[in-house]
Structure 1
Amino acid sequence: MTLHRHTPADVAPGTITLCGTKEMHGGLKWAHLPVDRTLWADEALREGFRTRVRREVNDMAAAVEVVEHP
């Protein structure tokens, strides 16, 4: 599996970053979505954010990692 690493630049102050990845022939497709921490705290909104990242990688079953402090 190809590694995808995060840096401090991936997480802006006051946010978390959602990272979705999909293993593909020849490499890894990934997408980042920065989300304001106050919005992420609302459980009712979380699945919508995850769905948005999964659409970006064209895989509705893709794992979505929450990056808070790389």
Structure 2
Amino acid sequence: MSVHTHTPADVAPGTVTLCATREMHGGLKWAHLPVDEWLWADEALREGFRARVRREVGDVAASVEVIEVGE
């Protein structure tokens, strides 16, 4: 299994970064989606953001991690 790690540089000030990953032959495919904190705070919008980053990796069931400043 491949590993994808994060650094503080992955999260811009005032945002959270969504990270979707997908195992593929030859390695791990990943995508990041920065989201403004004030938009992420709206529960009604969250699933739409998760769906968008999952589309980026080509897997509607991909795992999505929320990376915040300080993690």
After TM superposition, is the score higher than 0.5? Answer: yes
Question: Deviation of residue 57 (structure 1)?
Answer: 0.4
Which residues of structure 1 form unaligned runs of 5+?
none
Between the aligned residues of both structures, percent identity stands at 79
Instruction: Supply the AA of the counterpart residue of 1:52.
Output: R
Q: Secondary structure at the match of 2:35?
A: strand
Which residues of structure 2 form unaligned runs of 5+?
none
TM-score normalised by length of structure 1: 0.97
TM-score normalised by length of structure 2: 0.96
Q: How is 1:27-42 mapped onto 2 (pairs within 5 angstroms)?
A: 27-42=27-42
- Using the alignment, how far apart are the partners of 1:61 and 1:32 within structure 2? 16
- Which position in structure 1 is the counterpart of 2:25? 25
Structural RMSD (CA): 0.6
Provide the aligned length of Structure 1 versus Structure 2. Answer: 70
- Using the alignment, how far apart are the partners of 1:57 and 1:5 within structure 2? 16
Q: Secondary structure at the match of 1:46?
A: helix
